[in-house]
A and B are shown apart, each in its own frame.
Chain A
Amino acid sequence: MAMKKSIGFSLIEILVFATVLSLFFISAVTITTFSLRDLKIQEHKILATRYAEEASEWIKQEKEDDWQIFATHNGDYCLKDPIIWTSNLCSSYDLGTPGLFKRDLTISRSGDPIDKITTVLTVSWLENGLPQNVVLKSVYHLWE
Chain B
Amino acid sequence: MGITYKKSFTLIETIVVIAVIGLILPVVFSIFFVLLQQQTKIYRLNTVKKEGDYLIGIIENTLRNDTKSIHSAEPPTDSNIKCSTENSNYSSLTSLYFLDKKDQWFGYLLNGDAIAFTSEPTPTSVNLNSLKTKISGFSISCSRNSLYSPPSVSLSFTIQYCNDVACAQTRPEEIASLFYRTKIKLRNY
Contact = CB atoms under 8 A, between A and B. Distances in A.
Interface of A: 6-8, 25, 28-29, 32-33, 35-36, 39-40, 42-43, 46-47, 49-50, 54, 57-58, 60-61, 64-65, 97-98
A97 B39 CA distance: 20
A78 B46 CA distance: 27
B31 A50 contact: no
Contacts of B31: 29, 32-33, 36
Interface of B: 7, 24, 27-28, 31-32, 34-35, 38-39, 41-42, 45-46, 49, 52, 145, 152, 172, 178-183, 185
Contacts of A64: 152, 183, 185
- Main SS class of interface, B: helix
- Main SS class of interface, A: helix
Given A61-B182, A61-B183, A7 B42 contact: no
Contacts of A57: 181-183
5 contacts: A35-B35, A39-B42, A43-B42, A64-B152, A98-B172
A111 B87 CA distance: 31
Given A42-B42, A46-B42, A32 B35 contact: yes
A24 to B, nearest CB: 11
Nearest to A46: B45
B35 A8 contact: no
B183 A39 contact: no
Contact of A6 (B7, B24, B49, B185): B7
B24 A54 contact: no
A114 to B, nearest CB: 19
Contacts of A33: 31
Contact of A97 (B32, B35, B172, B182): B172
Contacts of A97: 172
Q: Which 3 A-B pairs have the closest CB atoms?
A: A61-B183, A39-B38, A64-B185
Contact of B28 (A25, A35, A54): A25
A109 B183 CA distance: 23
B45 A47 contact: yes
A39 B35 CA distance: 8
B88 to A, nearest CB: 15
